[in-house]
Amino acid sequence: MLTQLIKFSTVGFLNTAIHYAVFFYLYSFLGVYHLLASTAGFCFAVTNSYFVNKHWTFGYKNGYQSHQFYKFLIVNLISLMINLTGMLLLVDSFLLDPLLAQLVMIVITLVVNFIGTKFWSFR
């Protein structure tokens, strides 16, 4: 399980970079509302996450299985809701800069994603 956590964290770092790069570009350069920009970044990152975690982190070689994808998507949608709720609170209530708030929420949702993916999505 430690090896899987390390791999999951490595993939998570890549996904964080993808999520944050899309968010940063949309928010900083195109002026997209921070919650919408975060959602777009999430969509790119979760697509990458599914395929890399399935094959590399958890070692599933049995091709595409819709039930795994749907379970994975549910876990990640829960994480997205946590992310957006946290962003809303941190930015609108605590007046934290959206660029910093997004980094905080990505770290928090990493834990939720690992637990849900390990023990439910790919089980």
Banded model confidence at residue 14, pLDDT cuts 50, 70, 90? very high
- Overall domain count for the chain: 1
Domain of 113, in residue numbers: 2-121
Q: Supply the DSSP string of 24-45, one letter for each residue.
A: HIIIIIT---HHHHHHHHHHHH
What's the burial of 7, exposed, middle or buried (CB within 10 Å: 0-12/13-18/19+)? middle
Instruction: Please state, in angstroms and as integers, the Cα–Cα distance from residue 111 to each residue in 26, 33, 76, 105, following that order.
Output: 26, 26, 11, 11
Q: What is the pTM of this model?
A: 0.77
**Span 51-79, pLDDT tens digits:** 898 889 888 776 667 788 899 899 999 99
Place of tokens 């975060």: 38
